[in-house]
């Protein structure tokens, strides 16, 4: 990625650029590298901050979306951030929603892309068969419109993760927590400008989910990216960055 990973106590994070904070949150199988193109694009205009979410280190009984939002609150307090432009993909979007609903005064704008919080098709509707690497490859490929993005490196990373029993238990706990923690009742209370960027071919949080977010969040705008699945900032980074850049410039003016 070319950006130094900083460490302070429980936090590991990227912090580059200066000025208005733009904070990214990765998803359940995500990593900081998911936002590499977006970080490079925005670091000259914003202070781009991105923590590694403690998906595998929370206490087993406290591995849920709410606990991740509490972690995010500690992280934001640690850096002393205010008026944040908060962006989350997949589970990261859900964490962003929970945090924002609890601390609305801290968030200047909210951007969701392939976010959970209303509905998600976790693991393509089936339990991950750990020993079968081709099964894992197919499940990783479902994330994208173009299966070429399911690289050997990504598949190997996912395969190692789901074959670690402690990590797998936490992944399943987080996935179940995301399904249980439906945000529909909270969304109409959000008053900040909200940008929804969605892949037209997203099968994990399908287009109807984006439409429902758009209906429920009062000051939201919905943008579609064609030939794109669940991780728009990875699969179509140029278009994703163009949409987000234009929207932020207009909204923050």
CATH of the domain at 11: 3.40.50.1820
Task: Say if strands 21-25 and 47-51 run parallel, antiparallel, or are unpaired.
Answer: parallel
Q: Which residues pair with 112 in a beta bridge?
A: 88, 196
* 197 domain residue, yes or no: yes
* 159 domain residue, yes or no: no
126 pLDDT exceeds 60? no
* CA–CA separation, 24 and 87 (whole Å): 5
* 148 domain residue, yes or no: no
125 pLDDT exceeds 50? no
- Containing domain of residue 203, as a range? 6-120+182-252
The total domain count for the chain is 1
Coil, strand or helix at 81:
coil
* 53 domain residue, yes or no: yes
Using alpha carbons, select from 69, 71, 61, 95 the residue that is nearest to residue 9.
71
Exposure pattern of 141-179 as b/e (b: 16+ CB <10 Å)? bbbbbeeeebeeebbeebbebbeeeeebebbbbbbebbe
Question: Which residue stretches of 142-236 are H helix?
Answer: 152-162, 165-180, 207-216, 232-235
132 pLDDT exceeds 80? no
For 32-72, what is each residue's pLDDT tens digit?
889 999 999 999 999 999 999 999 988 888 899 999 999 99
* 80 domain residue, yes or no: yes
The residue-averaged pLDDT of 143-151 equals 91
Q: Quick one: pLDDT band at residue 81, thresholds 50, 70, 90?
A: very high
For 174-216, what is each residue's pLDDT tens digit?
988 888 899 999 999 999 999 999 999 999 999 999 999 999 9
* 134 domain residue, yes or no: no
122 pLDDT exceeds 80? no
* 141 domain residue, yes or no: no
Per DSSP, the chain holds a count of helices (H) and strands (E) of 9, 8
pLDDT (0 to 100) of residue 124:
43
> Which DSSP category does 55 fall into?
T
φ, ψ for residue 112 (rounded to 5)? -120, 135
* 228 domain residue, yes or no: yes
Contacts of 154 (CB under 8 A, 6+ apart): 140
pLDDT (0 to 100) of residue 183:
96
């Amino acid at each position: 990625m070319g950006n130094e990973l900083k460490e302070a106590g429980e936090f590991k994070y990227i912090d580059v650029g200066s000025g208005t904070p733009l904070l990214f949150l990765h998803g359940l199988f995500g990593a900081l590298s998911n936002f590499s193109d977006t970080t490079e694009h925005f670091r000259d205009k914003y202070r781009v901050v991105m923590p590694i979410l403690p998906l595998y280190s929370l206490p087993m009984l406290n591995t849920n979306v709410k606990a991740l939002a509490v972690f995010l609150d500690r992280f934001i307090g640690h850096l002393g951030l205010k008026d944040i432009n908060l962006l989350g993909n997949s589970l990261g979007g859900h964490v962003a929603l929970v945090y924002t609903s609890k601390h609305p005064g801290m968030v200047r704008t909210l951007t969701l892309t392939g976010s959970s919080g209303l509905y998600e098709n976790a693991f393509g509707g089936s339990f991950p068969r750990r020993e079968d690497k081709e099964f894992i490859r197919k499940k990783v490929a479902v994330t994208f419109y173009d299966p070429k993005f399911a690289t050997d490196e990504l598949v190997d990373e996912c395969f190692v993760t789901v074959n670690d029993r402690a990590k797998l238990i936490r992944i399943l706990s987080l996935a179940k927590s995301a399904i249980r923690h439906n945000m529909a009742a909270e969304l109409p209370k959000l008053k900040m400008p909200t940008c929804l960027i969605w892949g037209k071919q997203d099968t994990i949080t399908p287009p109807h989910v984006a439409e429902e977010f758009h209906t429920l969040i009062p000051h939201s705008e919905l943008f579609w990216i064609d030939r794109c699945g669940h991780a728009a900032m990875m699969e179509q980074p140029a278009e994703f960055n163009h949409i987000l850049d234009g929207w932020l410039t207009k909204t923050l003016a």
